[in-house]
């Protein structure tokens, strides 16, 4: 990975300031036509001694259907690291416009549980800038350790797409990936998502991206209605997999059609066990019972 020393921030950056700054940067670039280059910044950002707010944790757990245990849900840790990840993408030397980026997929390796009482060191970086048939994509990597240089407990890789942005020197993939035809199975669950689903998740995750908040704010950014946070959907699916997954697991999700709110979302979770009946993995897929379009799919597997 990168050899450079991390930039250590004194505290977790404020997401709202980052969003404002991102909007300003976008405007400046549009006006001045400035361009920062075609390479990702190599330096990583780190905040030390981060601790979860227990009230916020409880609200998060209840919202996504987890029991309010002392262990941080994997999706909650993503939310905890998210402002730091945003701060890297908000650097002046970051080559892509932050606003309007689309979350394509997410992979998490939770190698050991994290409890809310523990202080955490969180480090984020960006890497793997590459082409996409619709633009340019990259990975945001976040590592969460026990404070004081412990082993990585939680590793997250989020892939984002800057739609319609094509950087010189980065090729489009030769063969655009054709999504496999999807046939909806019988659902094992049915979610009723109210129009305030985005606001509710914003309140517990801190991610006040306007596209999630209301019809008006979403329309301002070119969406026809507000959409559900991808990580909300994925975290609910993870919660629905249940306690069988234990404390150490890998979790991935690929997002396809966005979920416009309000919505009914059908979900299928199929679980595989080994010969002794122990849980091995659960694959999940979610779709619209109305149109049959797939919203997202993914899996949770034992490490």
Give contact residues for other proteins (rule: CB under 8 A). Answer: 65, 186-192, 196, 240-242, 266, 268-271, 277, 282, 289
- In angstroms, give the least distance from the CB of 296 to other proteins: 17
**CB atoms inside a 10 Å sphere around CB 186:** 6
CB 288 within 8 Å of CB 246: no
If the CB atoms of residues 139 and 240 are measured against other proteins, the closer one turns out to be 240
Least separation in angstroms between residue 298's CB and other proteins is: 14
Q: Which residue, 57 or 269, has its beta carbon nearer to other proteins?
A: 269
Q: Which is nearer to other proteins, 174 or 291 (CB)?
A: 291
Do the beta carbons of residue 42 and residue 5 sit within 8 Å? no
Closest approach, Cβ 289 to other proteins, in A, equals 5
Rg (CA), the chain: 19
State which residue, 96 or 286, has the beta carbon closest to other proteins. Answer: 286
Q: How far is the CB of 189 from other proteins (least distance, A)?
A: 4
Question: What is the rounded (10 degree) CA torsion for 142, 231, 255, 81?
Answer: -10
CA distance 49 to 64: 26
Q: For residue 248, give the 3-state DSSP assignment.
A: coil
The pair of three-digit structure tokens given for residue 49, joined into one six-digit string = 């001694």
Nearer to other proteins, 96 or 285 (CB): 285
**Least distance in angstroms from the C-beta of 269 to other proteins:** 4
Whose tokens are 């209301």? That residue is 214
Nearer to other proteins, 146 or 268 (CB): 268
> Which residue in this structure is represented by tokens 């496999």?
180
What is d(CA 236, CA 213) in angstroms, rounded to the nearest whole number? Answer: 19
3-class secondary-structure state, position 81? helix
Q: Kindly state the smallest distance separating residue 182's Cβ from other proteins, in Å.
A: 14
**CA 64 to chain CA mean position, Å:** 15
Burial of 101 (0-12, 13-18, 19+ CB in 10 A): buried
Smallest gap, in angstroms, from Cβ of residue 23 to other proteins? 27
Nearer to other proteins, 12 or 195 (CB): 195
């Amino acid at each position: 990975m990168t050899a450079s020393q991390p930039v250590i921030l004194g505290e977790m950056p404020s997401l709202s300031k980052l969003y404002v700054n991102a909007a300003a940067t976008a405007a400046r670039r549009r006006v001045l036509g400035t361009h920062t280059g075609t390479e990702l910044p190599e330096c990583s950002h780190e905040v030390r001694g981060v601790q979860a707010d227990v009230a916020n944790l409880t609200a998060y757990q209840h919202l996504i259907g987890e029991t309010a245990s002392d262990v941080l849900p994997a999706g909650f840790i993503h939310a905890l690291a998210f402002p730091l990840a945003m701060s890297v993408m908000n650097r002046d030397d970051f080559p892509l416009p932050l606003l309007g980026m689309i979350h394509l997929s997410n992979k998490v390796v939770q190698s050991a549980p994290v409890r809310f009482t523990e202080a955490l060191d969180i480090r984020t970086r960006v890497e793997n800038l590459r082409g996409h048939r619709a633009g340019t994509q990259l990975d945001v990597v976040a590592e969460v350790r026990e404070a004081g240089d412990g082993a990585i407990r939680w590793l997250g890789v989020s892939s984002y797409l800057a739609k319609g942005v094509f950087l010189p020197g980065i090729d489009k993939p030769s063969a655009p990936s054709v999504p496999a035809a999807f046939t909806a199975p019988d659902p094992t669950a049915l979610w009723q998502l109210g129009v305030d689903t985005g606001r509710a998740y914003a309140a517990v995750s801190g991610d006040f991206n306007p596209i999630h908040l209301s019809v008006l704010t979403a329309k301002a950014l070119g969406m026809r209605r507000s959409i559900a946070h991808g990580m909300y959907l994925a975290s609910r699916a993870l919660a629905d997999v249940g306690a069988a997954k234990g404390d150490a697991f890998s979790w991935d999700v690929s997002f396809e059609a966005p979920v416009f709110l309000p919505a009914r979302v059908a979900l299928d979770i199929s679980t595989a066990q080994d010969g002794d009946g122990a849980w091995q993995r659960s694959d999940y897929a979610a779709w619209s019972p109305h149109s049959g379009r797939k919203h997202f799919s993914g899996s949770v597997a034992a490490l």
